[in-house]
Structure 1
């Protein structure tokens, strides 16, 4: 798990990693309802995700002097991280223009993949955006912890399956997202109905 406040930082990090894997952009403002529960999981997710997916906390840094005003939180292994509304807003607005995605205003994540053999290291062609807050309200997700554990496990399975076939094979982001939801036993409706909720689940094709 990494702190990030610019698109270019993600590109540099992914080129250094030089792996085809799942990427998760986490949009969590410390003042949002339910945010502290998510922030408390930063360290665990860092160690749990390993090489199967990169998780980026948008709007954060580990440098106390990088932002003018910032809010301090506990990051990976107890190291202090610092959050800036300004950096968060700049990132989400620039990303929205780039991929025609609109931030919900709640706790949300975007799932995409790296593309080490392409011109652009980040591949948004088949991205999936999930509104965590809406998932909890509708009881599609029983807890954030359970959902992220399922998402990481689904990422691991997809990456390993891809490697077994061809390292250049495009990862199936939709499959990763749906399998992580399907593994949640208490989901209240068929998965096909759940992903029709456009507040909860959006893709590159139905982003508006």
Structure 2
């Protein structure tokens, strides 16, 4: 609890009591509190922004392989979210339930 209070004093973040992920930049062995990324995981699950916490962590892990700053991660996540939103809107508005057929078809995948 001591760490939580200290983090609240150094940032604008206030602990909600739910599951939250906080990413802080570490540069040359020093933590910087000026720009942090906060993910309210329980809210993200409830709102359908993520399918599962483990899948979200995997997505973050892959992003960290190609992105070096929290700003780059933030932009990439917003872009991915916008693409999913547009895709969902298109599929939802296709006539005759075609969107549902396409969505179900995503589960039948051949890979080499």
Normalising by structure 2, we get a TM-score of: 0.65
Give the structure with the larger helix fraction. 2
Q: Equivalents in 1 of 2:65, 2:86: separation in Å? A: 26
Q: Does 1:175 align with 2:87?
A: no
How many residue pairs align between the two structures? 87
Q: Equivalents in 2 of 1:149, 1:136: separation in Å? A: 15
Which of 87, 92, 104 is residue 16 of structure 2 equivalent to? 104
SS at structure 2 position matched to 1:174 = helix
What root-mean-square deviation, in Å, do the aligned CA atoms of Structure 1 and Structure 2 show? 2.6
- Given that residues 10 and 33 in structure 2 are in contact (C-alpha distance below 8 angstroms), is that contact kept between their aligned partners in structure 1? no
Which of 28, 47, 55 is residue 116 of structure 1 equivalent to? 28
Q: Does 1:93 align with 2:5?
A: yes
Give the structure with the larger strand fraction. 1
Q: Equivalents in 2 of 1:110, 1:96: separation in Å? A: 12
Normalising by structure 1, we get a TM-score of: 0.37
- Given that residues 112 and 123 in structure 1 are in contact (C-alpha distance below 8 angstroms), is that contact kept between their aligned partners in structure 2? yes
Unaligned runs of 5+ in 2: 88-112
- In structure 2, relative to structure 1, the CA distance for the partners of 1:148 and 1:185 (3 Å cut) is farther
